[in-house]
Chains A and B, each alone.
Chain A
Amino acid sequence: MAPPPASAVADAMNAPARPRDSRTNVDIMAVTKGFHWPWLIAFIAAVSGVVMAFLALAYQTYEGLGVAGYQAPVFWGVYIITFVFWIGIGHAGTLISAILYLFRAKWRNAINRGAETMTVFAVLTAALFPLIHIGRLWKFYFLLPYPNQRYLWVNFKSPLLWDVFAVNTYLTISVLFFLVGLIPDIAIARDRALGWKKAVYTVLAAGWQGTGKQWKAHNRTVLHLSGIATPLVLSVHSVVSWDFAMSIVPGWHATIFAPYFVAGAIFGGFAMVVVVMVPVRRIFRLEPYITDYHFENMSRFILFTSLICGYAYGAEYFIAWYSGVEPEQTSFWQRAFGPYWVSTWCMITFNVIFPQLLWIKRLRTCVPFLFVLCFFINLGMWFERYVIIITSLSREYVPAAWGLYIPSTVELMVLAGSFCWFSMFFLLFLKMFPIIAISEVKELDIHARDHAREAAAHGGTH
């Protein structure tokens, strides 16, 4: 979809209640200060969840992967599903930061920090799962190509290795992007901090003084990083999708997988931004900055990508039927009507049917509705990976080797723990750094003022 014209953005951003510049610093930095009960409760819950997950993981590591629900022929389970899920979540951040930046979709400025934060922590969460998945965490370094005396080398033909590179690249770039973007805001925090905090912020602010030269360098860096990050948005999840598409498994081996996964990732990522930002906005009173307009724009993205997902689901079934290949047909039939029908229909309902409500404008701006909808979309996206991975593996070529997989308690604890792990970092970030890019929001105001001046100079028409 095309971004709205800049004037429309400016209009929206200059709503009557719009705080002045000087208030922006105070309002946004207020998130990091003071005491918020909901924050504390959430943080305690998150930390407990992390502790629980680590205990579960310790148990699994000690006992072996047998405590997970794997059973032949399903050799991948909740861990890979969750890996793909979090990688997918990590997409919206970069999309908002980089692609919308390049498209000059300025409305992104209020939500990009939140989305980027989400991205970084989502990718960090995702990156744990391959280790958890292989069971013997300490063997992970075998996957890294480095010169060694043991003749260990890696197989560049394996999509899993591409994954290692893709995820690491993505993580590096998104962290860089995130940190560079933070510099001016950290400087604000530095200027308002005292004591040891000031020392920390001073180091992190990297000597930012807000000079014209620094701004110029900063903007250039952001631009270049956006240029680098943009293809990554498409490549990471494409590569992840090739973990499946490059295999010979019926239900996986499909050319549609790369765009299908990318669209799904953006879909799920935006939904996650909504799920995360709605409570943040409510608790920290950020309504003046994150407005209904933002939510409506995100809703449009969600609706659009939902349609792509729906198309991909349909295309998969069509191709399975059209190919005439019996194992493929059986695989898909079993998906919809086999033992895993619940997950399949959850996926279709949450990801394709529910989002169609967003055609209604009132619902696009109804934040509580969006929150609930996006929660279900995230559930649906998790089920999408569940369906792809589990049902396909359970019904492969040799009927004598068909089987079923049911996640074990340990796996579900680790899954729950991953959300807590993510939340824990996100909550810590809220209390340490501005969750809205102060400098970029101000930039909007400047643009708006410039625009207004220009408009006045040209006689109020354009």
Chain B
Amino acid sequence: MSELDRRDFLKIVGLSAGAAATAGCGDPASKLIPYVIQPEEITPGVAVHYASTCQECPAACGLHVKTREGRPIKLEGNPEHPINQGRLCARGQVGIGRTYHPDRIQGPASRSADGSLQSLSWEDARNKLAAKLGSAAARTWILGGPVGPSLDGLLDRFVEAAGIAGRLTYSPFGQHALIEASEAVFGVSAAPVFDLSEADLVIDFGADFLDTGTSPTEHAAQFSKSRDLAGHEDGGARLVAISPRQNLTASNADQWVAAAPGSEGVLALALAKAVADRKGAGEVAGALAGARVAEAIRAAGIERSLFDGLVDRLASAQRAVALPPGIAAATNAGSGAAAAVLLLNVVLGAVGERLRYPASDAKRTASLKDVLALIGEMKAGRVDCLLIHDLNPVFSLPEAAGFKEALAKVDLVVSFASMADETSERAHMLLPDHSSMENWGDASPRPGIRSLIQPTIRPLYDTQALGDTLLGIGRAMGGSVAEQLPAGSWKSVVESNWSDTNWRQALARGGVFGPMPTREVSLAPSAANLRPSMPRLQGSEELTLVAFPHSYFGDGRGAALPWMQEIPDPVTKLSWNSWAEISFEKARELGVAFGDVITISSSAGSVDVSVFPRGGIRDEVVAIPIGQGHTVGHYASMAGDGEPGVARGANVAALLPAALDEAGGQAFLSTKVSISKTGRFRRLALSQWTDNQRKRGLAPEVSLYDLAKTGGMAHFVAAASASEPGASHAAEGNHDAAGGHGEGGHAEEGGGEHHFEGPPFEFDPANDADPDQPYRWGMTIDNDKCTGCSACVAACYVENNGTIVGEAQAIRHREMSWMRIERYVGDGEDDVRDGAVRRPTPDGEALGKNEVRHLPMLCQHCGAAPCESVCPVIATYHTPEGINGMVYNRCVGTRYCANNCVYKVRRFNYFDYGRLNWPGLLGLMLNPDVTVRGQGVMEKCTFCVQRIAAARQPAKDEGRLIGDGEVVTACQQACPSGAIEFGNVRDKSSVAAQVASRADERAYHALQELNARPAVTYLAQVKRDKTEGVH
């Protein structure tokens, strides 16, 4: 076989200009090989969905794993699952990549003295480990992450049977403080479950519930419901977010309170006291005795008037709920802070309604304190063997805890990791687990919900389920150990745990879902002793380090997935690296600008990281995301960029002391730091350079007041600046509208400086398709519901085989995402001098003010698309159904379409991404319904045309039209808050058409004065707190 393949051949041929004209490029004929024996459940070309459970975070959302010809290719939300109800966040969407990941450990191995890996057979591995356990079981520990009930039970039985010294189930993001607080306030040893769907006021004390909270998808859906304008004339729930930096929740809040870090507890108690005083204290009076309002206001660094405003809000709300501090606000007084928030909930009357306790106590998991104790044992040489599963303690434990050094003292470290990580690199024996797509298992995120994990693909590598490995080791140990363990395989263990259910039905549905059995709670006597205090931070430096969870990385495990690296952080729009957020003021003081590397030093250590100055952070705070800084992994470290062993970004664990809260959990907000300039510069991949939309009518907003008062779109179509002479001149352009819709809707205008003359074009996207076609596909996106979480972006990547370009390319804006979330702050000034050039960072943010507007941007499938007319080869054209089609193999790559696209949604394949960017087996997860684009062609959103095609076939067979709801685009399907609707807008009864018409007062088209007649109708964001005026 020659080494010259077709592409190379063509490239060489292409060099000669003479040959260029004649070199054809017929693809070599390759044959599809049919099944010899057709598997019963597989019809080639038809997707089969299996219900399963997402393992990316403890929320345990239900999945429908879409498989094609035996390969899982996409994860979708299980509509029956009570947690996510068919939605799935960005992290869940890309979890599919773990199965095919190049970091997968491909079989059992042991590490020889020189550090190289020798592969083992499972038999040998089991025997070796069994022998070790036989002699040293009493000096063996199991350290692992949270697992489902079946595996948890099996691990417990194994520990007992083998006589192992102990087992720790540790999660870096545990809820110990909250459980301890519940114990103190209500005498209940469980974490409360929040339901925001009926709330009219949500006050978030650093929980960041829309992004990195305990169950973001569930909460985003509930929150969206609670403030859906369709059901709430008053605008529904208001959101107050308290956070020293503007996180995603604060970006969506009606009010952002930029309180000092760590002041959440005292502030919550002071609020509880003030509200109780207003409403009548009742039974909580005693518990609130510790509140010191004036001190709390001072500690939080806020104005008295702001505090009083909050009290007014809380006191007047009917169904308020307060959310306890999350990871970024976890301090050594974390439990007290959580207790204060619980007390506030008591005052607000949320307990039992929007905050409920499960009937059963939470299973006790290990806290950092327990892990530190184990580290002490290890250091003392009292641990001979350490088995590690579902956890990467080398990466995620604070370096100051000394886990790495302690690990070196352990004779035999066994890692069950499925993918290589910093811990498995140090393990002496690797017994790789299946990925969750290959494995059996279950999950129970809360009582009443039991969710199943089932394999959807035969294991790709020589891996073994952890359950089977444990059973195998036990049997190899023989004797009483084997007898005490269940017979059969891991699958039969799971099955027997589910023997009380209808197994087949549970498998089909994804589990057994019922309401959560709850219990009534009342104030415990211990509540009276609560004295929340400000946390003590280590060190006396000037700045406070806020280590916040990255939107996509969780405790760090998300960093391995390339999509999580590439999709810009929803707040900063940075990707692929760590950054340190400091205020503009601080940056000026230090003399650093965006990208300059600073050294951050704490008592525990120091890291170098590029700086990202922004307006939305307190001056005394420096904030770094958790989860970056891996030294192992194709994507997680720089290995994929040709620098193996080099960390990608900085690991915050190097800066954090092993500080504990009262319950032993890790206090992330625990240290002061100093920063200094290094003089170096490291460019960061920033996908959006300015947050100033320059009054271009991209993401307008309307105040609830105006909406209620006038109900006219005219008031906030900010098509151009009010200074534009003769703004209505543009209306002439519409006479050629296909359906002759004509201009209309020039609403009467009351005058006023911000007010605009009216929509320059009023048109109906439904007209922009062939007159005799029954379909015109269109979309509505409700900016008021969009939280910016980017689940849609992730879904789009996976559904449409979007390629990952890597950091170097992302820095050059060559990312291939078909969809992006633009983040604007307010409407900026239309001052042309204020270029984004001199300070290439978004700079519209102001402390304690939230003017953020999210605008999901994708191909608008314009009726008069500027891209179509300029393509010389008709590679992009208007389909009869109104879609802006893209024929990849017609495209020659003039790129004129991308220049002329006013929405800038076209992406060009600069390299052969489709071939280069699917290392390992990642290519197996490609969606066979979507072409993998070759080098040199343009691509963009297709409105998931493959899904339309899939729906068309049955409709055709049945001789009917495609019904509304039969085509669900990937972005629409993923969106946790249901902001996106898609459908045939020619069918006036379709949801998409209905939403657009129902919300007519808010409906607008981006840049509509350009008259591209987009098929995407946006619904303007509503400012609920503004009493008048629009921006």
Contact = CB atoms under 8 A, between A and B. Distances in A.
Contacts of A326: 694-696, 720-721, 724, 830, 832
B1 interface: no
A400 interface: yes
A257 to B, nearest CB: 15
B984 to A, nearest CB: 28
B379 interface: no
Contacts, number: 217
Contacts of A180: none
B873 A142 contact: yes
Interface stretch (B158-166, B263-271, B808-816): B808-816
B570 to A, nearest CB: 13
B836 A160 contact: no
A154 B874 contact: yes
A61 B907 CA distance: 19
B910 A73 contact: no
Given A333-B835, A397-B696, A402-B689, A159 B870 contact: yes
A57 interface: yes
A137 B832 contact: no
Interface stretch (A62-70, A171-179, A185-193): A62-70
Given A154-B874, A247-B870, A325-B720, A402 B690 contact: yes
DSSP majority for the B interface? loop
Interface in A122-171: 128, 130-131, 133-143, 152-155, 157-161, 164
B694 A399 contact: yes
Contact of B896 (A66, A160, A334): A160
Interface string A391-422: 00100111111110000000000000000000
A136 B935 contact: yes
Interface stretch (B341-349, B388-396, B886-894): B886-894
Contacts of A139: 892-893, 936
Contact of A396 (B19, B832, B870, B902): B902
Interface in B822-847: 822-824, 830, 832-833, 835-837
B491 interface: no
A337 interface: yes
A399 B15 contact: no
B700 to A, nearest CB: 14
A312 interface: no
A131 B21 CA distance: 11
B872 A134 contact: no
A63 B1007 CA distance: 37
B960 interface: no
Contacts of A131: 17, 20
A139 B891 CA distance: 9
A403 B689 contact: yes
A144 to B, nearest CB: 8
B360 to A, nearest CB: 48
A151 to B, nearest CB: 9
Interface in B900-947: 900, 902-904, 907-912, 935-936
Interface stretch (B6-14, B442-450, B477-485): B6-14
Interface in A273-310: none
A138 B14 contact: yes
Contacts of B435: none
A397 B1010 contact: yes
B936 A64 contact: yes
A72 B814 contact: yes
Contacts of A159: 870, 896
A397 B689 contact: no
Interface string A26-68: 0000000000000000000000000000100110011111101
A246 B909 CA distance: 25
A243 B10 CA distance: 29
Contacts of B910: 64-66, 68, 70
Contacts of A140: 20-21, 892
Contacts of A329: 832
A327 B823 CA distance: 19
B936 A135 contact: yes
A93 B43 CA distance: 67
B1021 to A, nearest CB: 15
Contact of B908 (A70, A143, A399): A70
A135 B937 CA distance: 10
A62 B830 contact: no
Contact of A334 (B17, B835, B890, B899): B835
Contact of B899 (A75, A130, A330, A398): A75
Contacts of B1010: 248, 397
A452 interface: no
B38 interface: no
B833 A333 contact: yes
A339 interface: yes
Contacts of B724: 324-326
Contacts of A324: 720-721, 723-725
A164 B896 CA distance: 14
B884 interface: no
A164 B892 CA distance: 14
Contact of A142 (B8, B725, B866, B892): B892
B670 interface: no
Given A333-B832, A338-B837, A71 B812 contact: yes
Interface in B660-718: 688-696, 698
20 contacts: A61-B11, A62-B12, A76-B899, A134-B893, A134-B894, A138-B14, A140-B20, A140-B892, A154-B874, A158-B872, A160-B872, A326-B695, A337-B833, A337-B835, A393-B899, A397-B1007, A399-B689, A399-B692, A400-B823, A401-B903
9 closest residue pairs by CB, A with B: A66-B910, A401-B904, A75-B895, A400-B822, A138-B14, A71-B812, A333-B832, A160-B872, A64-B911
Interface of B: 8, 10-15, 17, 19-23, 25, 688-696, 698, 720-721, 723-725, 809, 812-815, 820, 822-824, 830, 832-833, 835-837, 855, 857, 866, 869-874, 890, 892-896, 898-900, 902-904, 907-912, 935-936, 1007, 1010
Given A70-B908, A73-B899, A157-B869, 13 more contacts: A65-B908, A65-B910, A72-B904, A138-B25, A158-B869, A158-B870, A158-B871, A158-B872, A158-B896, A247-B866, A248-B866, A327-B696, A396-B904
